[in-house]
Structure 1
Amino acid sequence: MTALKKHRVVVGLSGGVDSAVTAWLLKQQGHEVVGIFMKNWEDDDDTGYCSSNIDFVDAAAVADVIGIEIEHVNFAAEYKDRVFAEFLREYSSGRTPNPDILCNAEIKFKAFLDHALRLGADKIATGHYARVRCIGPAGNALDVHQAQLGSGRFELLKGLDPAKDQSYFLHRLNQAQLSKTLFPVGELLKTEVRRLALEIGLPNAKKKDSTGICFIGERPFRDFLNRYLAKTPGPVKNDKGQTIAEHVGLSFYTLGQRQGLGIGGLKAKGAQRGGGDHAPWFVARKDMDSNTLWVVQGHDHPWLQSLQLTAGQASWVAGVAPQGGAFAAKTRYRQMDAACVLSGVDASRFTLDFAQPQWAVTPGQSAVLYDGEVCLGGGVIEGNG
């Protein structure tokens, strides 16, 4: 039997434990592994909010323990042009974008992939909790380490750890990108990754997982937006049309938001729908034309429930849209798959009808479609009903 070819694999080392174990696993498999640390933001290098310098030190320490080379690459200009500019445009328009999805599509699997290929990479790898499968012409699964574009159909699968699955953030990846990508930790549970890191003696084995958007760090989100978006105050109204407060600007709120509304202790006489006088308030609608923020009381208020959504900017992993029919979807990360029917599919748009109402379906976020464990792709939510 011919031994499997070993590859030159370029790994995105973030400084976190997942990418560290990714690099170690590939090295153990006999591949030639090279690490790259991506610097995607540099406006706050001198503040406590930006951890990129600390992360690079951690990534370099990991590379030293594993015994691989590491290169520091600056993608800040690409990030600002391709991700951050779109992030601000969407917020300015009253929508709530997901920059992590755009970052994966434009930076980690485009700018980074292009750079890795220039370094002679056969494959790239990241620490995402997802999996790649290649189905050959005869319907058999091929070894993704060996499969190339044209070998068969590449599929994006959920990570085996349901609590950590990140396929939602990767749904815009295409056949060419998946054909070059490996996700080793997608085959593991997070507890196994931590255990391996301790056994290997990785210096970041107990490092806390990063949360939130990379360029915002641990700072309050509104404080960050204040630096870039204009404030245009306007009325806050309840579902009876009563003005009950003033907002600082519609861009600073998102559907389903409960904190930071400034009306937490307010009683609204007769506002019984969804929980009574003392029920918490939630953002339910944003009217850009009248600059009005609409809020309701109670998590289960009808204004927060949607049985249908429309989405645009559709992107399908297979390169072609699936036929309409019964599937499952997520309208936000960490949501359980919801049964739905896909219809109205054309080159860039589609409609989803849900069996059960979905909570706070938010324009600007992504609706991602699944067929079992296979992530088919998705689109950006335009409207709900």
Structure 2
Amino acid sequence: MSGGVDSTVSAYLLKKQGYDVIGLFMKNWDETDENGECSAEEDYDDARAVCLKLNIPCYTVNFTKEYWDNVFTYFLDEYKKGRTPNPDVLCNKEIKFKCFLDYAINVLNADYIATGHYAKVEHTKEGTRLLKAKDQHKDQTYFLSLLKEKQLERVIFPLADVEKGEVREIAEREGFRNAKKKDSTGICFIGERNFTQFLQNYLPNQPGDMIDMDTGEKKGEHIGLMYYTLGQRRGLGVGGCGSGERWYVADKDLNNNILYIVQGDKNPKLYKNGFIATDVNMISGHYPSDKFECEMRFRHLQPLKKATVEVIDESTARVIFDEEQSGVTPGQIAVFYDGEVCLGGGTIDKLIKF
């Protein structure tokens, strides 16, 4: 129970289906926001109120240490390297479907855990598969791509065949206090607060030159390479000139602390042919073959791209797009699909340009 409307309706649906439901709220972050408010307290109040209304027990568990050790330190290390990590994906792997799952099974003696994720689990003779949700606009398989089949065997996703609009309707009809509560956005432990200010609390600023990659001309200064993502166009502080087209982040030189930018979204320096993926996780435990075609995305809900995956070793693969793509960013997660089935994912490491 997160205190949000999705987990609320999930609990309601499970109880309606005859399950013996237990509410479990977890706290992963201890810090207050810039206004001195701790959103976890408000979320817990909402979760507890829902459990009371559903007449189910409500437990709490604190995973702040586990989150710091297994997710946040990785998050900081990646930014130090000039990469752009996705802690939400890692949180699912290390906390929600590991620590949380272990606690529910071994301490509360639960048979399954259920969350408000929009995704589907299918059990077949060949094994347990992760499929896209009915609501394609809310599908969250991207964030679940680093899970293992064994974890999914003990998971129920009650919203697999429910659309977001229906969830709101159910919550309002049943009189849940969080029926109109906004969905959480941003990085899981940061929320909607100012990201730059947040990161400055943990990593020192290292301003440097912002260089036009085509001409070598200095166009300004950046505030620190960690604050920029490849393909980014907002917040560069560089006005249009010449063609008047927008500027985009094209590359980072970590050794010399240089941010390279180019003008125009069609600039060839923004496009890559593929990448090397590391820490690859296949949900089934194995690749479909040594070389296979699939669809993939490297951002949540991004339109799927066709690609060919060539296996290098158990945890490393070479991914080549059918068509060049922009915005491919080291540190982000790339997720592979075969139709409705999410095969797994890996971390984008080195970029490939023919």
Range of TM-score over shorter length: over 0.9
Which structure 2 residues correspond to residues 169-184 of structure 1 after superposition, within 5 A?
169-184=143-158
Query: Match of 1:116?
Result: 104
CA shift, 1:45, in A, is: 6.8
Question: Structure 1 CA distance, aligned partners of 2:327 and 2:247?
Answer: 13
Segment of structure 1 superposing worse, 59-68 or 82-91: 59-68
Query: Match of 1:273?
Result: none
CA shift, 1:266, in A, is: 4.7
Q: Report if the CA contact (8 A) 1:49-1:218 is conserved.
A: no
| Deviation >3 Å, runs of 4+ | 45-50
Of 59, 64, 68, which aligns to 2:47? 59
1:282 has 2:248 as partner: yes
**Shift in alpha-carbon separation, 1:41–1:47, aligned structure 2, 3 A:** farther
Of 84, 108, 122, which aligns to 1:133? 122
Which structure 2 residues correspond to residues 23-42 of structure 1 after superposition, within 5 A?
23-42=11-30
Question: Structure 2 CA distance, aligned partners of 1:243 and 1:56?
Answer: 50
Question: Structure 2 CA distance, aligned partners of 1:338 and 1:186?
Answer: 23
Which structure 2 residues correspond to residues 222-301 of structure 1 after superposition, within 5 A?
222-239=196-213, 240-263=215-238, 265-267=239-241, 269=242, 276=243, 278-301=244-267
1:303 has 2:303 as partner: no
CA shift, 1:322, in A, is: 2.1
Query: What TM-score do the two structures reach when normalised by structure 2?
Result: 0.96
CA shift, 1:199, in A, is: 1.6
CA shift, 1:125, in A, is: 0.5
Q: Report if the CA contact (8 A) 1:256-1:282 is conserved.
A: yes
RMSD of Structure 2 on Structure 1 (CA):
1.4
Q: Report if the CA contact (8 A) 2:33-2:193 is conserved.
A: no
Task: Give the counterpart letter for 2:113 in structure 1.
Answer: I
1:280-337 superposed Cα distances (whole Å, 9 cap, x missing partner)? 1111111112211001112222122122111100111001122122110001112011
Task: Give the counterpart letter for 1:313 in structure 2.
Answer: D
Question: Structure 2 CA distance, aligned partners of 1:121 and 1:89?
Answer: 35
**Shift in alpha-carbon separation, 1:296–1:50, aligned structure 2, 3 A:** farther
- Segments of 5+ residues of structure 2 without an aligned counterpart are none
What is the number of equivalent residue pairs in this alignment?
349
Question: Structure 2 CA distance, aligned partners of 1:305 and 1:184?
Answer: 39
Query: Match of 1:314?
Result: 280
Question: Structure 2 CA distance, aligned partners of 1:319 and 1:62?
Answer: 37
Task: Give the counterpart letter for 1:315 in structure 2.
Answer: N
**Shift in alpha-carbon separation, 1:384–1:46, aligned structure 2, 3 A:** closer
Q: Identity, % of aligned pairs? A: 49
Which structure 2 residues correspond to residues 1-385 of structure 1 after superposition, within 5 A?
13-44=1-32, 47-48=35-36, 50-117=38-105, 118-136=107-125, 152-239=126-213, 240-263=215-238, 265-267=239-241, 269=242, 276=243, 278-323=244-289, 324-385=291-352
Q: Report if the CA contact (8 A) 1:49-1:216 is conserved.
A: no
Question: Structure 1 CA distance, aligned partners of 2:318 and 2:212?
Answer: 29
Question: Structure 1 CA distance, aligned partners of 2:85 and 2:192?
Answer: 19
CA shift, 1:214, in A, is: 2.4
**Shift in alpha-carbon separation, 1:87–1:49, aligned structure 2, 3 A:** farther
Question: Structure 1 CA distance, aligned partners of 2:71 and 2:31?
Answer: 14
Question: Structure 1 CA distance, aligned partners of 2:53 and 2:326?
Answer: 46
CA shift, 1:232, in A, is: 1.6
1:180-200 superposed Cα distances (whole Å, 9 cap, x missing partner)? 001010211111111111122
Question: Structure 2 CA distance, aligned partners of 1:297 and 1:68?
Answer: 57
Question: Structure 2 CA distance, aligned partners of 1:17 and 1:70?
Answer: 16
CA shift, 1:46, in A, is: 8.4
CA shift, 1:121, in A, is: 0.6
Question: Structure 1 CA distance, aligned partners of 2:38 and 2:266?
Answer: 37
Question: Structure 1 CA distance, aligned partners of 2:168 and 2:236?
Answer: 38
CA shift, 1:164, in A, is: 0.2
Task: Give the counterpart letter for 1:358 in structure 2.
Answer: Q
- Segments of 5+ residues of structure 1 without an aligned counterpart are 1-12, 137-151, 270-275
Question: Structure 1 CA distance, aligned partners of 2:312 and 2:288?
Answer: 8
Question: Structure 2 CA distance, aligned partners of 1:262 and 1:216?
Answer: 24
Tell me the SS of whatever aligns to 1:53: helix
Q: Report if the CA contact (8 A) 1:343-1:352 is conserved.
A: yes
CA shift, 1:373, in A, is: 0.5
1:226-262 superposed Cα distances (whole Å, 9 cap, x missing partner)? 1111222211101211111111221121112222212
Tell me the SS of whatever aligns to 2:313: coil
Q: Report if the CA contact (8 A) 1:49-1:217 is conserved.
A: no
1:56-79 superposed Cα distances (whole Å, 9 cap, x missing partner)? 111111111111111121111111
Question: Structure 2 CA distance, aligned partners of 1:109 and 1:21?
Answer: 20
Task: Give the counterpart letter for 2:20 in structure 1.
Answer: E
Task: Give the counterpart letter for 1:73 in structure 2.
Answer: V
